[in-house]
């Protein structure tokens, strides 16, 4: 106790003492010299006096890293669910163009069912005009941006497969069956959706605009 008090009195005149760590350094350097024990203690005490600044820097860096991770996770989540926003019932109107050059207005209804993983989709699309109709159903799975599955046209009993890409509100696939090939491009933005189908069969093209019910 006498040694500490003497040390305090001796150091008060030379350097203000406000931090416990600074006092430890002064005492150490004054009374213990540069021995191994003194050097190690001095290093720990010096780090102690810088602890506030170091922690602030570490907190800033940690906050930056956390923000980047959150953005990356959000982006990854969105990318991993290519059918986000589709689930539900849709309806609208469009135009069908036939191989004889004629075209008709059509009315359409669609239903989308996304499974619990967000990677599987079941779809039905039923359209009819005054003299023409088609009834499509499909079931697809996603692996990254790539999707594949099968489809059926019920009224003509046609069964085929499909493959393409999905993501960012866009589905772009090629559907095939024996003697038949068509492309389908679907874009979804909020509660609005457009569907474009092109083929070389009896139906040359279908253009549909729908809204979510």
| Measured distance CA(68)–CA(64) in Å, rounded | 6
Give 16: exposed, middle or buried? Use CB within 10 Å, 0-12, 13-18, 19+.
exposed
pLDDT tier, 200 (very low <50, low <70, confident <90, very high otherwise): confident
Q: How far apart are CA 212 and CA 88, in angstroms?
A: 7
Mean pLDDT of 104-117: 96
Sorted by where each starts, the structural domains of the chain and their CATH numbers stand as 2-79 (no CATH), 88-212 (2.40.128.20)
Q: Are 56 and 39 contacting, i.e. CB atoms less than 8 angstroms apart?
A: no
* Per-residue pLDDT tens over the stretch 159-177: 999 999 999 899 999 999 9
Residue 78, pLDDT score: 40
Structure tokens at 100: 């004889």
Q: Are 173 and 184 in contact (CB under 8 A)?
A: yes
Res 85 pLDDT > 60? yes
pLDDT digits (tens, 9 = 90+) for 131-161: 888 999 999 999 988 999 999 999 888 999 9
Q: What is the pLDDT of residues 17-45, one digit of tens each?
A: 444 444 333 334 433 444 444 444 445 54
Question: Reduced to 3 states, what is the DSSP secondary structure of residue 13?
Answer: coil
Q: Number of C-alpha atoms within 13 angstroms, CB side, residue 131?
A: 6
Q: What is the mean pLDDT of residues 34-63?
A: 50
pTM over 0.85: no
Of the ranges 34-43, 77-86, 191-200, which is most confident? 191-200
174-199 mean pLDDT? 95
CA-to-CA dists, residue 66 to 61, 69, 70, angstroms: 9, 5, 6
Integer Cα distance of 206 and 13 in angstroms: 93
In this predicted structure, what is the pLDDT of residue 56?
A: 59
Least confident of 64-68, 124-128, 162-166: 64-68
């Amino acid at each position: 106790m006498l040694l500490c008090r003497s040390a305090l009195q001796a150091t008060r005149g030379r350097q203000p003492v406000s931090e416990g760590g600074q006092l430890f350094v002064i005492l150490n350097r004054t009374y213990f010299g540069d021995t191994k024990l003194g050097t190690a203690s001095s290093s720990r005490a010096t780090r102690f006096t810088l602890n506030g600044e170091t922690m602030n820097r570490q907190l800033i860096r940690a906050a930056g890293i956390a923000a980047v991770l959150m953005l990356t996770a959000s982006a990854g989540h969105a990318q991993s669910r290519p059918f986000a926003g589709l689930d539900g019932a849709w309806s609208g109107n469009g135009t069908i163009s036939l191989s004889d050059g004629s075209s008709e207005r059509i009315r359409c209804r669609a239903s989308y069912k996304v499974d619990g993983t967000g990677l599987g989709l079941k779809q039905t699309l039923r359209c009819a005009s005054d003299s023409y109709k088609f009834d499509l159903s499909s079931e697809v799975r996603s692996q990254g941006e790539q999707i594949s599955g099968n489809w059926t046209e019920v009224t003509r009993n046609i069964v085929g497969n499909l493959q393409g890409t999905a993501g960012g509100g866009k589905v772009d696939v090629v559907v095939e069956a024996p003697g038949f090939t068509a492309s389908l491009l679907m874009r979804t933005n909020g509660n609005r959706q457009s569907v474009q189908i092109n083929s070389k069969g009896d139906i040359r093209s279908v253009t549909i605009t729908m809204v979510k019910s």
